[in-house]
């Protein structure tokens, strides 16, 4: 019997959630013995395969047009989708920028900083456009929310192992934390 496939990706975040995933240490091998990891930010393949995966895991908030594309692709190609970490679940620290005008923020970052000489705001159709920051479930349907900044390796292992075993993951007690 083929192993269920799993894919991960990150969007607007610090990569701490994926570091916490790696902190599962030898339990990572336990999970990988039960599932096939098809793609992740730390593998050569970055996007879930077109034929789809059983479980998609996204960390980070939606704060630019590229994040919207990644979220919609993962949702379309995943049987179930996990929002991992406070940024994906709640919007995270990047939501603080929502109090400011995006154009003014870009001007401050690229032109008005004290150390900038001859600054300019990059313009290209190939660059993602910044948008108002939001949690993942405001853009696509999310099946499981795993909060934490980052979620503990124990909590990530619990959720992935339960799904790999065909059970509904229930996150509660010490594993359920909002930072």
Mean pLDDT for the stretch of residues 66-82: 97
CB count in 10 Å sphere of residue 23? 16
The tokens for 178 are: 């909002």
pLDDT at 115: 94
178 pLDDT tier (thresholds 50, 70, 90)? low
Q: What is the token pair recorded at 23?
A: 């902190």
Is the peptide bond prior to 96 cis by the omega test (within 30 degrees of 0)? no
Q: What is the DSSP string of 149-163?
A: SSPPHHHHHHHHHHH
- 131 φ, ψ (degrees, to nearest 5): -135, 175
Identify the top-confidence range among 33-42, 69-78, 163-172.
Answer: 69-78
pLDDT tens digits, residue range 118-173? 999 999 999 999 999 999 999 999 999 999 999 999 999 999 999 999 999 988 87
Angle at 5 between CA 164 and CA 1, to 5 degrees: 75
Mean pLDDT, the chain, rounded, equals 93
Q: What pLDDT is attached to residue 179?
A: 60
């Amino acid at each position: 019997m083929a192993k269920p496939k799993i894919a991960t990706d990150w969007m607007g975040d610090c990569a701490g959630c994926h570091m916490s995933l790696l902190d599962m240490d030898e339990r990572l091998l336990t999970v990988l013995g039960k599932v096939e990891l098809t793609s992740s930010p730390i593998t050569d393949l970055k996007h879930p395969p077109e034929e789809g995966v059983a479980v998609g895991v996204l960390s980070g908030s939606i704060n630019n047009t590229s994040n919207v594309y990644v979220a919609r692709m993962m949702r379309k190609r995943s049987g179930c989708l996990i929002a991992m970490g406070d940024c994906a679940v709640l919007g995270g620290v990047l939501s603080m920028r929502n109090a400011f005008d995006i154009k003014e923020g870009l001007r401050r970052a690229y032109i008005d900083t004290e150390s900038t000489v001859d600054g300019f705001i990059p313009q290209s159709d190939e660059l993602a456009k910044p948008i108002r920051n939001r949690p993942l479930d405001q853009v696509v349907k999310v099946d499981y929310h795993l909060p934490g900044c980052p979620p503990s390796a124990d909590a990530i292992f619990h959720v992935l192992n339960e799904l790999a075993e065909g059970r509904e993951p229930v996150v509660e007690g010490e594993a359920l934390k909002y930072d």
